[in-house]
Structure 1
Amino acid sequence: MRRCQQVICIITLIVFHISGFCQEKKIIVKPYSIESTYEKLKKKYPFITPIKPIVSNKIKSKENIVYLKIGKTQLKADVYIPQSDDKKTFPTVLLIHGGAWNSGSKENERVMAQHLALNGFVSISISYRLSIEAHYPAAVLDIKSAIKWARKNAKKYHIDPDRLAILGASSGAQLATLVGVTPNSAIYNNSSIFSDDVQAIINIDGIVSFIHPEAQESNSAGMWLGGLVDENPKNWKEASPLEYVNEKTPPTLFINSSQPRFHAGRDDMITILNKYNIYNEIHTIPDTPHSFWLMHPWFETTVNFTVSFLNKVLKNDN
Structure 2
Amino acid sequence: MKFRTVLLVLLSLCLASQVSVAQESPPAKTAQKKQGNLKRKKKTPALPSGVELLSDIEFSTPNGMPLKLDLYLPEKRTDAIPVVVFVHGGGWKNGSKAVALNRAAWLAQHGFAVAGISYRLTDSGQWPDQIDDCYAAVRWLRAHAADHGIDPEHIGCWGTSAGGHLVALMGTRPYPGEEQVSSRVQAVCDWFGPTDLLTMPPNMLGNGRTEEDIANSNGAKLLGDTVRDIPDVAKDASGLHHVSKDDPPFLIIHGTADPGVPLSQSERLHTALSDAGVDSTLVKLPGAGHGGPQFNAPEVREAIVQFFTRTLKRSN
Conservation of the 8 A alpha-carbon contact between 2:255 and 2:285: yes
Separation of aligned partners in 1, 2:188 and 2:295: 24
Q: Which residue of 2 aligns with 1:204?
A: 191
Deviations 1:44-98 (A, max 9, x none): xxxxxx996333452121011111112342111000111234x521111000000
Write the distance in 2 (CA, Å) between the matches of 1:116 and 1:247.
28
* Aligned pairs (5 A) from 1:208-287: 208-212=195-199, 215-217=201-203, 218=214, 219-260=217-258, 261-287=261-287
Distance 1:160 1:252 in 2: 20
* Cα distance in structure 2, aligned partners of 1:52 and 1:202: 25
Residue matched to 2:46: 54
Contact 1:95–1:113 (8 Å) recurs in 2: yes
The CA RMSD measured in Å over matched residues stands at 2.7
Give unmatched runs, 5+ long, in structure 1. Answer: 1-26, 40-49
Decide whether aligned partners of structure 1 residues 121 and 152 sit closer, same or farther in structure 2, where only a CA change above 3 A counts: same
SS at match of 1:98: coil
Name 2:134's counterpart in structure 1: 143
Report how far residue 175 of structure 1 moved: 0.8
Q: How does 1:1-318 map to 2 (within 5 A)?
A: 33-36=26-29, 53-85=45-77, 87-183=78-174, 185-186=175-176, 189=177, 191-212=178-199, 215-217=201-203, 218=214, 219-260=217-258, 261-292=261-292, 295=293, 298-318=296-316
Q: 1:167 and 1:38 mapped to 2: Cα distance? A: 28
Deviation at residue 107 of structure 1 after TM alignment = 1.1
Deviations 1:184-204 (A, max 9, x none): x32xx3x54100001111101
Q: Which amino acid aligns with 1:312?
A: R
SS of residue matched to 1:100: coil
Give identity over the alignment, percent.
26
The higher-RCO structure (CA 8 Å, 6+ apart) is: 2
**Alpha-carbon displacement from aligned partner over 1:170-214 (angstroms, at most 9, x marks no partner):** 01100111121112x32xx3x5410000111110111211124x6
- Closer/same/farther in 2, CA of residues 207 and 317 from structure 1, 3 Å limit: same
Give the Å deviation of 1:33. Answer: 4.4
Task: Evaluate the alpha carbon distance shift between residue 275 and residue 161 of structure 1 in structure 2; reply closer, same or farther with a 3 A threshold.
Answer: same
Shift in CA distance, 38/242, structure 1 to aligned 2, threshold 3 Å: farther
Q: Distance in 2 between matches of 1:313 and 1:175?
A: 19
Work out the CA distance in 2 between the residues paired with 1:37 and 1:255: 28
CA distance in 1, matches of 2:74, 2:146: 14
Shift of 1:314: 1.6
CA distance in 2: counterparts of 1:241 and 1:31, whole angstroms: 18
- Flag the 1:131–1:248 CA change in 2: closer, same or farther, 3 A: same
Q: Secondary structure at the residue paired with 1:265?
A: helix
Paired with 2:164 and 2:51, the residues of 1 have a C-alpha distance of 25
CA contact (8 A) 2:47 2:101 kept: no
Corresponding residue SS for 1:160: strand
**Equivalent pair of 2:154/2:185 in contact (CA under 8 Å):** yes
| Counterpart residue identity of residue 284, structure 1 | K
Q: Which amino acid aligns with 2:117?
A: I
Letter aligned with residue 71 of structure 2? V
TM normalised by structure 2 equals 0.78
